Amino acid sequence: MKVLMFGWEFPPFKSGGLGTACYDLTKGLSAIGTNVTFVMPHASDKEQAEFVKLVGTSNLSKNIKIKSVNTVLTPYMTADQYHDKIQSLNGTSNSKEVYGKNLYEEVERFSLIAPHVAKEQDHDLIHVHDWMTYKAGILAREKTGKPLVAHIHATEFDRTGGNPNPFISHREYEGLNAADIVIANSNYTKDNVIQAYDIDPEKIKVVHWGIDPENPHYDLNYSSALSDADKLVLFLGRITIQKGPEYFIEAAKKVTEHVDNVKFVVAGGGDMLPAMIDKANELGIGDKVIFSGWLKGADVHKAFQMADLYVMPSVSEPFGLVALESMKNNTPILISKQSGASEVIKNALKTNFWDVDEMANKIVNTLKYDSLYQDLKENSYKEAQKFNLIEPARKTLDIYHEAVGGLKNG
Amino acid sequence: MVSICFYFQVHQPMRLRNYTIFDIGKKEDYFDDEKNLEICRKITRKCYLPMNKLLLDLINKYNGKFKISFSISGVALEQFETYAPEVLESFKALAKTGQVEFLSETYYHSLSYLYSKDEFKEQVEMHKKKIKKLFKQTPKVFRNTELIYNNEMANYVEKLGYTGILAEGWDKILGWRSPNFLYKPKGTKNMKVMLKNYRLSDDIAFRFSNKGWNEWPLSVDKFSKWLNAANGDGNLVNLFMDYETFGEHQWEDTGIFNFMQQLPEELLSHKDNEFVTVSEALKKYDTVGELDCHQMLSWADLERDLSAWLGNRMQQDSIKRLYDLEKDVKATKDKELIEKWRKLTTSDHFYYMCVKYFSDGDVHKYFSPYDNPYDSFIIFSNVMNDLIIRVKELNKPKKRSKDVATTAITEQTRT
């Protein structure tokens, strides 16, 4: 099975979960002997330094060829981040149209190159990741006639809290419709796709993510003066509407009314960061909430390891790989029920994202009762070991066979 | 001769509602009346009423030859009184036949024996009184919560005046010996222990509807053959199980009711067989040897130990906090508060915190009204914290009238 894969980012050219997901998937596929050629936009060294979390690619086997397309694209994952980036480059623009137009151009350029790459690269199947690459996949298929598998890691509805950018959601709709098979990373995402785009449920397969067990940072067991002095509750991710940071701050306020020695760490950046800083101050817990900005590499793991509890209050989380990362770092988790992760993780505290009281209730008890904290920690760590890269890769390979077989028979 | 002893355990806990930190000091109603009512009604419909009727019909039909024994927890009886009086009536009707014996247990289906002998004694006494009042008989045989048992326990229970006790017929304790005899618990004078034949009991209670079992489907004919084979390997087959087996754990469509309806006829067709109640079994047979059981034995899991209730930190922590409060709760002399505390002693609250089944994904084994073991702990913990506040409040030395008056004035000025 030779796979031609179109992606938007790949370590070290990555900014978010999509890059990790593509890296993990191709690593898993490679381990079970599947050849993948990964096509992605090229990024300059300057961009890499600012955005990229470095994960060594040296231990990838030769089954994966990284093919860079010569465009001026920078690595980004969402329209929001692209917007941030454009703003920081141009300094002034606030208009969504500006970034929309630029983004459109970049995606278009990538798409137009796709058929040429497809012609050069021998393959049995085309696999595309999220809306940026869907058109590339469609055009490549037109050229080669190979089956198209469209992976959906997050819908535009997830990212925007239900206010999609019409251009992006249209691209999603086209790609998902055109695909022979759609892979969703959770039943939660599958349901969202059916609801938003009326895609035939029969052709949507669910492959839950695993996590790479080989990461040297997991065993750091890091602590610091901060974590020695106080209990720490961590939020880590983009500070955007999708991730529900305001619910975290509101819960934090309630927790401080029950627990004295506690600090809240908000790690990450995003358009809601200034509002969240204001909110913490308004609620009178400015001294209890630490905004750390984006963390990179080992620092991410250190943050998990310092924390007593990781909270993922996402409003809509297609999967939430970060929850597994926390468990791997031996830090128990509280996650929203509006997440794919909550479908597969058992040893976790779970609440609805909007239920701030329940969130505070669970945080307070975890901080106050060592028995709960220890049992949760021990069992979630144990459970995290069940997740790996082979299982999702095997399921994906089965889907490849089905797609290729389906095309031959049909 | 093989005597067959059917013993059924009837129990329903008082489940807690989702009590959060924000309720502490504000809400006194810990128990989820709505959910308890709903579950009680459901099991009444599926199990208690149809099975009680089936048993009553069998008793009438065989006219003294079919007998059974029950243990019904006090918390279950209370719920029948409130939510399902017709169930209570049907148990009374069974009692009146004279073919049904009721056993002693702790009123609250608690683990009190392990944490407070005083409380244990009180709960056993409470339960005895309740049974006497409702069914007009005084229990003579004791069964501890979840069949938790060891030498010391048997000796303790003998001192309370019982002549018989129930336990699991577990191979690791018995060795080569058969569970189908009576044994004398080590150190006791006249005590007899009745051991559950777990293979035959579990054929009905656990395996009956299991299509993956190579003996499925289980017919009365097949089961009788197995049971008759005990002839020669003992004289008493003890079939102990949860009463909710019938209609609730094994649904009606599995054929469990038909099975039970036909079983007595098939068993009695063998002239060597007879049914006995627990006391009749004790009277009829002598012990054949001594049973030495140091470790705590239960009828749960493959381990037959206490790990389902006390296996993890959450469970140990909660139960310790609960019994640490015993003295102070009782010092309040506040009946209602003491009753609430006692309802928290029910073993199910700790079972809900058990992670092992939950983690293994064995959903069938993890019966819980809550989403997960951690939620169960949090709810229990919050309730405990409220109880602690109330106990402290009531145990405060009474203020002199002058202080009270001053406080009242201060309150007034503030508002």
Cβ pair A350:B378 closer than 8 A: no
Tokens 């609620």 found at: A283
Q: What is the pLDDT of residues B352-404, one digit of tens each?
A: 999 987 766 554 456 788 989 999 999 999 999 999 999 999 999 876 555 54
Confidence of residue B130 (pLDDT cuts 50, 70, 90): very high
Q: Do A133 and A267 lie in a common domain?
A: no
pLDDT at A39: 85
Nearest CA among A304, A381, A318, A309 for reference residue A350: A309
Print burial letters for A218-233: b (CB count within 10 Å at least 16), e (below 16). Answer: beeebeeeebeebbbb
Query: Which residue of B313, B372, B378 is in closest CB contact with A374?
Result: B313
Q: Do A104 and A65 lie in a common domain?
A: yes
Backbone angles phi, psi at B288, to 5 degrees: -105, -5
Residues 6+ apart with CB under 8 A from B78: none
pLDDT at A104: 74
Query: Which residue of B316, B359, B378 is in closest CB contact with A365?
Result: B378
The size of the A-B interface in CB pairs under 8 A is 64
User: Do B167 and B147 contact (CB within 8 A), yes or no?
Assistant: yes
| CB contact B176 to A (< 8 Å) | no
Q: What is the pLDDT of residues B190-206, one digit of tens each?
A: 999 999 999 999 999 99
Spell out which residues of chain B touch residue A374, defining contact as CB-CB under 8 Å. Answer: 313
Spell out which residues of chain A touch residue B313, defining contact as CB-CB under 8 Å. Answer: 370-372, 374-375
pLDDT at A95: 34
Tokens 């924000």 found at: B22
Helix and strand totals (H; E) in chain B:
20, 10
Which sequence spans correspond to the domains of chain B? 2-291, 308-395
DSSP state letters, A266-331: EE---TTHHHHHHHHHHTT-TTTEEEEE---THHHHHHHHH-SEEEE--SSBS--HHHHHHHHTT-
Q: What is the pLDDT of residues B56-81, one digit of tens each?
A: 999 999 999 999 999 999 999 999 99
Q: How far apart are CA B217 and CA A79, in angstroms?
A: 60
Q: Do A49 and A175 lie in a common domain?
A: yes
Cβ pair A372:B312 closer than 8 A: no
Domain interval for residue A206: 2-210+389-409
**Number of domain units in chain A:** 2
Q: Do A187 and A255 lie in a common domain?
A: no
Confidence of residue A63 (pLDDT cuts 50, 70, 90): low
| CB contact A369 to B (< 8 Å) | yes
User: Do B236 and B39 contact (CB within 8 A), yes or no?
Assistant: no
Rg (CA), chain A: 21
Q: What is the pLDDT of residues B239-285, one digit of tens each?
A: 999 999 999 999 999 999 999 999 999 999 988 899 999 999 999 99
Q: Do A129 and A250 lie in a common domain?
A: no
SS3 at position A40: strand
- Which residue in A has a C-alpha nearest to residue B373's C-alpha? A347
User: Do B16 and B31 contact (CB within 8 A), yes or no?
Assistant: yes
- Which residue in B has a C-alpha nearest to residue A345's C-alpha? B359
Confidence of residue A296 (pLDDT cuts 50, 70, 90): confident
Spell out which residues of chain B touch residue A383, defining contact as CB-CB under 8 Å. Answer: 359
Query: Which residue of B316, B358, B381 is in closest CB contact with A365?
Result: B381
| pLDDT at residue A189 greater than cutoff 70 | yes
| CB contact A370 to B (< 8 Å) | yes
Give the CA diameter of chain B: 87
- The one catalytic residue in B146, B158, B244, B266 is B146
| CB contact A337 to B (< 8 Å) | no
Q: Do A301 and A199 lie in a common domain?
A: no
Q: Do A20 and A113 lie in a common domain?
A: yes
Q: Do A196 and A318 lie in a common domain?
A: no
Q: What is the pLDDT of residues A332-350, one digit of tens each?
A: 999 999 999 999 999 999 9
CATH code: domain of residue A331? 3.40.50.2000
| Residues 372-391 in A contacting B (C-alpha not used; CB under 8 Å) | 372, 374-376, 379, 382-383
| Residues 94-153 in A contacting B (C-alpha not used; CB under 8 Å) | none
Q: What is the pLDDT of residues A94-119, one digit of tens each?
A: 333 333 356 677 788 788 888 888 88
| pLDDT at residue A279 greater than cutoff 50 | yes
Q: Do A184 and A229 lie in a common domain?
A: no
Spell out which residues of chain B touch residue A379, defining contact as CB-CB under 8 Å. Answer: 355, 359
| pLDDT at residue B291 greater than cutoff 70 | yes
* Minimal C-alpha gap between B329 and chain A (Å): 22
Whether B336 sits among the annotated catalytic residues: the reply is no
Q: Do A345 and A393 lie in a common domain?
A: no
pLDDT at A102: 65
Q: What is the pLDDT of residues B18-70, one digit of tens each?
A: 999 999 999 999 999 999 999 999 999 999 999 999 999 999 999 999 999 99
Q: Do A95 and A59 lie in a common domain?
A: yes
Cβ pair B20:A357 closer than 8 A: yes
| Residues 107-146 in B contacting A (C-alpha not used; CB under 8 Å) | none
Cβ pair A376:B374 closer than 8 A: yes
Cβ pair A376:B371 closer than 8 A: no
Confidence of residue A227 (pLDDT cuts 50, 70, 90): confident
- Which residue in B has a C-alpha nearest to residue A344's C-alpha? B361
Average pLDDT over residues B209-229: 94
State the average pLDDT for chain B.
93
Q: Do A399 and A361 lie in a common domain?
A: no
Topology adopted by domain B2-291 = 7-stranded beta/alpha barrel (3.20.110)
- Which residue in A has a C-alpha nearest to residue B382's C-alpha? A365
Query: Which residue of B359, B375, B377 is in closest CB contact with A346?
Result: B359
Query: Which residue of A360, A371, A382 is in closest CB contact with B313?
Result: A371
Query: Which residue of A346, A374, A382 is in closest CB contact with B372?
Result: A346
| pLDDT at residue A387 greater than cutoff 90 | yes
* Minimal C-alpha gap between B120 and chain A (Å): 26
* Minimal C-alpha gap between A140 and chain B (Å): 43
